[in-house]
């Protein structure tokens, strides 16, 4: 019986089928074609669903993981959590939700490390950091918007790299690694806050120079 689903309707089934082949074939057209065979459709139909090829399927997998993570976070009592606990929870949820596909994720990291895909991989990490911050209620619009996402992207990517190679029971070593990275970030933020406070209390340079030029005038 011919499959009467549209290319758009076939995207999610192809993604779900393909992740089972990626551990063996990587994020390649071979894995996508194998997924098409699993669904009983032609490679041409799979190409219509994913004209960008296997890397477009990887994009969809990451975007789907972002959505599921956000949904899980919104179900938590976020307003009563400290910011460090919120961020930690977000990354732990992300890892827990995708543990069954750790090898496919590892292959995805390798694919993104290739020169032609590095921009794509960087964008994916940035988008995940942005989803986390927006879900946690971040409303910053100044330079903090960029620094928060850049910092979290670096932490998340480092933890992800550690996790895909972690053989400890229950990924205990990854959790400890995550806690250390979050602590480093919090110490850095505290140092920035203290620096801003110190700068705010410093006398105005222009006022000081004015007093040198016009002593006794208060100018």
Q: What is the tens place of the pLDDT at every residue in 127-183?
A: 999 999 999 999 888 888 999 999 999 999 999 999 999 999 999 999 999 999 999
The residues, any chain, with a CB within 8 Å of residue 155's CB and separated by 6 or more, are: 87, 91, 178, 181, 182, 185
Q: Quick one: pLDDT at residue 186? A: 76
The residue behind tokens 């550690």 is: 162
Sequence ranges of the domains in the chain: 1-51, 56-174
Q: Quick one: pLDDT at residue 3? A: 73
Q: How confident is the model at residue 192 (pLDDT cuts 50, 70, 90)?
A: very low
Residue percentage of the chain with pLDDT more than 70: 84
| Among 53, 23, 24, CA closest to 36 | 53
Q: How confident is the model at residue 191 (pLDDT cuts 50, 70, 90)?
A: very low
Q: Region 2-19: what's the mean pLDDT? A: 92
Q: Region 33-44: what's the mean pLDDT? A: 97
What is the residue-averaged pLDDT of the chain? Answer: 89
Q: Quick one: pLDDT at residue 206? A: 55
Collapsing DSSP states into helix, strand and coil, what is residue 21? Answer: coil
Structure tokens at 34: 């194998």
Alpha-carbon span 18 to 27, nearest angstrom: 9
Alpha-carbon span 58 to 124, nearest angstrom: 10
Q: Quick one: pLDDT at residue 140? A: 86
Q: Quick one: pLDDT at residue 195? A: 47
Q: Quick one: pLDDT at residue 184? A: 81
Q: Quick one: pLDDT at residue 127? A: 97
Residue 212: pLDDT over 80 = no
pLDDT digits (tens, 9 = 90+) for 79-137: 999 999 999 999 999 999 999 999 999 999 999 999 999 999 999 999 999 999 999 99
Q: How confident is the model at residue 185 (pLDDT cuts 50, 70, 90)?
A: confident
Q: Region 64-85: what's the mean pLDDT? A: 96
């Amino acid at each position: 019986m011919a499959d009467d689903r549209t290319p758009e309707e076939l995207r999610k089934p192809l993604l779900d089928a393909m992740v089972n082949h990626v551990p063996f074939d990587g994020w390649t057209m071979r894995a996508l074609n194998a997924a098409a065979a699993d669904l009983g459709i032609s490679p041409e139909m799979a190409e219509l669903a994913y004209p960008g090829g296997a890397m477009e399927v990887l994009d969809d997998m990451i975007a789907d993981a972002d959505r599921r993570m956000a949904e899980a976070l919104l179900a938590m009592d976020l307003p009563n959590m400290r910011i460090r606990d919120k961020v930690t929870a977000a990354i732990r949820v992300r890892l827990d939700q995708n543990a069954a596909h750790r090898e496919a994720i590892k292959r995805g990291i390798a694919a993104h490390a290739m020169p032609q895909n590095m921009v794509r991989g960087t964008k994916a990490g940035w988008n995940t950091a942005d989803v986390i911050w927006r879900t946690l209620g971040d409303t910053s619009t100044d330079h903090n918007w960029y620094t928060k996402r850049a910092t979290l992207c670096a932490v998340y990517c480092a933890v992800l790299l550690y996790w895909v190679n972690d053989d400890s029971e229950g990924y205990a070593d990854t959790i400890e690694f995550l806690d250390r990275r979050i602590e480093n970030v919090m110490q850095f933020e505290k140092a920035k806050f203290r620096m801003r406070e110190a700068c705010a209390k410093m006398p105005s340079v222009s006022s000081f120079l004015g007093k040198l030029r016009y002593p006794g005038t208060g100018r």
